[in-house]
Amino acid sequence: IRSGYRLIDYSAAYGDGSLVAKGIEASGVSRDELILTTRVSNRAQFAGADRVKDEFLEQLKNMKTDYVDIFMFHWPVTDCYEKTWKVMVELYKQGYVKTLGVANCHEHHLEVLFNLTEERPLINQFEIHPLFTQKKLIRYCLDNGIRPEAYTPTARFDDRLVRLPLLHRIGKKYGKSILQVVLRWHVQNGVIPVVRALTKSHQQENIDIFDFSLSEAEMADIDGININARVRYDPDNCDFSIL
């Protein structure tokens, strides 16, 4: 937060939410300046609607807040996510949530939700990076008023990405690292990259991407890196019990 970040990306699957509260308190930044996100765990989805609600209220208590800015489910768990969504909509209508979102949803998952309730998700967080550009899903989301968020936006530093001469040439041109080039590519594509960093210097590197712009040709060149390679899981082909 002190480095300038305002989006906090959390999930019940990540552990102790009280650490989020401690971080906010120590930052000196008021709660209303932050965008606090949390997600429903798969464990709660398997347990049923009551557990989804109880888990969420536990998170609020642990994070010492009476609302979250963005509430998602972590995965579209088969035979569960529809019921989970209905609970999320109830919590939204009760004022606990400002914005509803989802994560790891393909088009067919979103279409189910469109027909399920009057409320629609406004954010979809899914795997996007130059090795897996997801152009079709991004376009579908944008056309339906859903902002795409990218997790693993730099492909977890996969060698197939970070060793590419193209990215090094572009980075050298702008005096930026290849990771900054990739994050800038996300932003210019209308995608919100959710970044992770364990040091202050890396945090600053991730956020220092707003003083340059990639050309149309450079954007197209980075698009061309795509090999449809995931580094995480396909929501249509995974075991949700281990996620």
pLDDT at 15 (0 to 100): 83
DSSP state of 66: S
Tokens 């008023």 belong to 145
The answer to whether residues 238 and 142 touch, using CB atoms and an 8 Å cutoff, is no
pLDDT at 24 (0 to 100): 95
pTM of the entire structure?
A: 0.96
Measured CA to CA in angstroms, residue 108 lies from 111, 129, 140, 164 at distances of 5, 21, 11, 34
Evaluate if residue 6 carries a pLDDT over 90: yes
The answer to whether residues 121 and 101 touch, using CB atoms and an 8 Å cutoff, is yes
Q: Which residues are catalytic?
A: 14
What's the mean pLDDT in 47-69?
Answer: 97
Give the Cα separation of 185 and 160 in Å (integer).
17
Evaluate if residue 71 carries a pLDDT over 90: yes
pLDDT at 16 (0 to 100): 83
Evaluate if residue 176 carries a pLDDT over 90: yes
Give the Cα separation of 142 and 81 in Å (integer).
22
- Mean of all residue pLDDT scores within the chain: 97
pLDDT at 140 (0 to 100): 98
pLDDT at 194 (0 to 100): 97
Measured CA to CA in angstroms, residue 130 lies from 141, 158, 177 at distances of 18, 11, 15
pLDDT at 195 (0 to 100): 95
pLDDT at 124 (0 to 100): 98
Give the Cα separation of 175 and 117 in Å (integer).
48
